[in-house]
Amino acid sequence: MTSVSSGAKDSVRRITAVGRKEFLHVLRDPRSLALGILMPLIMLFLFGYALTLDVDRVPLAVWDQDNSPASRELISRFEGSRYFSLRSHATSYADLEQAVDRREALIALVIPPDFADRLEQPGSATIQVILDGSDPNTATIAQGYAEAIALSWSRQVVMQQLLRRAPYALKAPQLEIRPRVWFNTDLVSRNFIFPGLIPVIMMIVAALLTSLSMAREWETGTMEQLVTMPVRRWELIAGKLAPYFCIGVVDLLLSVGVGYYIFSVPLKGSLLLLSGLSLLFLVGALSVGMLISIIAKSQLLASQLALLVTVLPAFLLSGFIFPLENMPAPIQAVSHIVVARYFVTILRGIYLKDVGLAVLWPQALFLLGFALLILTVAVQKFRKKLG
Partner 1 sequence: MFERLKAMLVKEFIQTFRDPRMRVVLFVLPMIQTVIFGYAVNMDVRKIPTAVIDRDNSPQSRELLQVLFASGHFRDSIRLDTEQQASRLLDAGSVRVALVINHGLAQQLGAGRTATIQALVDGSDSNTAGVILGYLSRFAEAQNIRLLTEKAARSGLTPSTAPRLESRAWFNPDLASPPFYVPAVIANILYIITMLLSAMAVVREKEIGTIEQVIVTPIRKYDFILGKTVPFVLIGYANVLLISLVGWLVFRVPVRGSIFLLILATGLFLMSSLGTGLFLSTISQTQQQAKMSAFFIIFIAMLLSGFAFPVDNMPLPVQWLTVINPVRWFMEIIRGLYLKGVGLSILWKQFGMLLLIGTMVLVTAVVRFRKTVG
Residue from 139, 274, 282, 346 binding partner 1 (CB under 8 A): 139
What residues from 162 to 201 belong to the interface with partner 1 (CB under 8 A)?
162, 165-166, 170-189, 191-192
- The nearer residue to partner 1, 256 or 306, going by C-beta atoms, is 306
- Based on the number of CB atoms within 10 Å of its own CB, is 250 exposed (0-12), middle (13-18) or buried (19 or more)? middle
Taking the complex as a whole, how short is the minimal distance between the CB of residue 75 and partner 1, in angstroms?
13
The residue type of 52 is T
* 75 lines the binding site for partner 1 (CB under 8 A): no
Report yes or no: 202 and 253 within 8 Å, Cβ to Cβ: no
Residue from 150, 250, 267, 279 binding partner 1 (CB under 8 A): 150
Helix (H, G, I), strand (E, B) or coil at 297: coil
Taking the complex as a whole, how short is the minimal distance between the CB of residue 66 and partner 1, in angstroms?
12
- The nearer residue to partner 1, 184 or 278, going by C-beta atoms, is 184
Stretch that binds partner 1, among 129-137, 227-235, 238-246, 281-289 (CB under 8 A): 129-137
Residue from 301, 357, 368, 372 binding partner 1 (CB under 8 A): 301
Residue from 65, 72, 135, 260 binding partner 1 (CB under 8 A): 135
Measured distance CA(157)–CA(73) in Å, rounded: 11
Report yes or no: 100 and 132 within 8 Å, Cβ to Cβ: yes
Measured distance CA(373)–CA(78) in Å, rounded: 56
Would you give the binding string for partner 1 spanning residues 90-109, x where CB under 8 A is met? Answer: ----------xxx-------
What phi and psi, each to the nearest 5 degrees, are found at residue 162? Answer: -65, -40
Taking the complex as a whole, how short is the minimal distance between the CB of residue 142 and partner 1, in angstroms?
10
Report yes or no: 44 and 201 within 8 Å, Cβ to Cβ: yes
What residues from 207 to 246 belong to the interface with partner 1 (CB under 8 A)?
208, 212, 216, 219-221
Stretch that binds partner 1, among 4-12, 26-34, 225-233, 368-376 (CB under 8 A): 26-34
Taking the complex as a whole, how short is the minimal distance between the CB of residue 12 and partner 1, in angstroms?
27
Stretch that binds partner 1, among 25-33, 274-282, 283-291, 373-381 (CB under 8 A): 25-33
Size, binding site for partner 1 by CB under 8 A: 123
Largest CA distance in the chain: 101
Measured distance CA(301)–CA(28) in Å, rounded: 24
Would you give the binding string for partner 1 spanning residues 357-376, x where CB under 8 A is met? Answer: --x-----------------
Measured distance CA(319)–CA(82) in Å, rounded: 28
Buried b (16+ CB within 10 A) or exposed e, 30-57: eeebeebeeebeebbeebbeeeeeebee
Taking the complex as a whole, how short is the minimal distance between the CB of residue 360 and partner 1, in angstroms?
9
* 322 lines the binding site for partner 1 (CB under 8 A): yes
Number of C-beta neighbours around residue 387 at 10 A: 2
Residue from 10, 147, 246, 262 binding partner 1 (CB under 8 A): 147
Taking the complex as a whole, how short is the minimal distance between the CB of residue 53 and partner 1, in angstroms?
6
Residue from 12, 159, 262, 333 binding partner 1 (CB under 8 A): 159
Measured distance CA(199)–CA(284) in Å, rounded: 11
Taking the complex as a whole, how short is the minimal distance between the CB of residue 131 and partner 1, in angstroms?
4
Q: Which residues pair with 58 in a beta bridge?
A: 84
Report yes or no: 289 and 211 within 8 Å, Cβ to Cβ: yes
Q: How far does Cα 99 stand from its chain's mean position?
A: 32
* 51 lines the binding site for partner 1 (CB under 8 A): yes
Residue from 6, 52, 228, 376 binding partner 1 (CB under 8 A): 52
Measured distance CA(354)–CA(69) in Å, rounded: 52
DSSP state of 58: E
- The nearer residue to partner 1, 350 or 367, going by C-beta atoms, is 350
Residue from 68, 154, 270, 275 binding partner 1 (CB under 8 A): 154
Taking the complex as a whole, how short is the minimal distance between the CB of residue 372 and partner 1, in angstroms?
25
- Based on the number of CB atoms within 10 Å of its own CB, is 311 exposed (0-12), middle (13-18) or buried (19 or more)? middle
- The nearer residue to partner 1, 216 or 233, going by C-beta atoms, is 216
